[in-house]
Amino acid sequence: MSDKHRVGVIGARGHTGGELLSILGRHPEVEVTYAGSRELAGEPVPQIDGLVFESSSPDEVAGLSLDAVFLALPNGVSGPFVEALSSETAIVDISADHRFDDNWAYGLPELNRDKISGARRIANPGCYATVAQLAIAPFLEMLEGVPVAFGVSGYSGAGTTPSRKNDPAELADNLMPYSLVGHIHEGEASRNLGTDIRMIPHVHPAFRGLLVTVHLPLSRQLERSDAVEILTEAYGHEPLIEVLDQIPELKDGTDLTGAMLGGIDISGSNLVMVGVEDNLLKGAAVQAVQNMNLALGHPELSGII
């Protein structure tokens, strides 16, 4: 009998579900034994030899005695699975359903590792919120005013349900705003940083990749070298976070396992920097596997690098 942890992915048909299956398929310490998809039920899972997609009820999934379950579902539909699964099963919810729930660990490892380790209910952060928080967090004590994050992501971030925001024809030669006030990632980042931020998200014509330009009003003027040192001290030991001197571009985040922060510039007491990631990887699937590893006691980057 295998001594690997048994893992399931619910919502395995989606973009994030596919990325999860690819990572988990090469993970040395877990075995994917369930991939849930109503649309693909009965078809083989391309990332996992010998596994087929299944469509099972929450109670049927609970009966599989899985050690960890990823919920790669649309917002608002995770509840029945959470209720059915054992309290001993580690759940990583990739939707926004539990990001505002104090009973769930907020799964941004670089900022919240201690609370994630050993947890059994973990809320995976949103893609924009991940980069924005990583950029802002090292400067929290110096803020004087509300940071603003202008973000652009690939249309895979709009999911698989057809809409103008994931229609390549509508997006061609175009830049399309999301909700400009009160985006859910804005509230999420504000809550977890403990300070208000403003987020202005957009979608661009490429399939994946994400860039956020963050403006930070500071209480005092910093030298650029001091700001770079603060950022380096915060993340120099983090293998998935790279601090750059130059300005990262959106294409630098595409297919990137982690995130890049760089291009720091300062005008008076105003600091600007740029962060990039892949919205499906560090913005979703990679971070989810980091969280599972911390929950189950595996090396944090097992299966990832």
- Catalytic positions are 127
- What is the C-alpha separation between 184 and 174, in angstroms, rounded? 23
Of 12, 92, 91, the C-alpha closest to 51 is 12
- What is the C-alpha separation between 282 and 127, in angstroms, rounded? 8
DSSP state of 301: T
Distances (CA, A) of 184 to 8, 30, 96, 294: 27, 32, 8, 26
- What is the C-alpha separation between 272 and 78, in angstroms, rounded? 37
- What is the C-alpha separation between 19 and 265, in angstroms, rounded? 34
Give the tokens for residue 237. Answer: 């030991």
Q: Dump strand ranges (E) for 37-165.
A: 68-71, 90-93, 105-106, 121-123, 148-153
DSSP state of 283: I
Taking each helix axis from N to C terminus, what angle separates 109-116 and 286-296, rounded to the nearest 10 degrees? Answer: 30
Provide the β-strand partners of residue 270.
Answer: 217, 267
3-state SS class at 282: helix
- What is the C-alpha separation between 53 and 243, in angstroms, rounded? 40
Tokens 């899985």 label which residue? Answer: 66
DSSP H or E segment with residue 31? strand 30-36
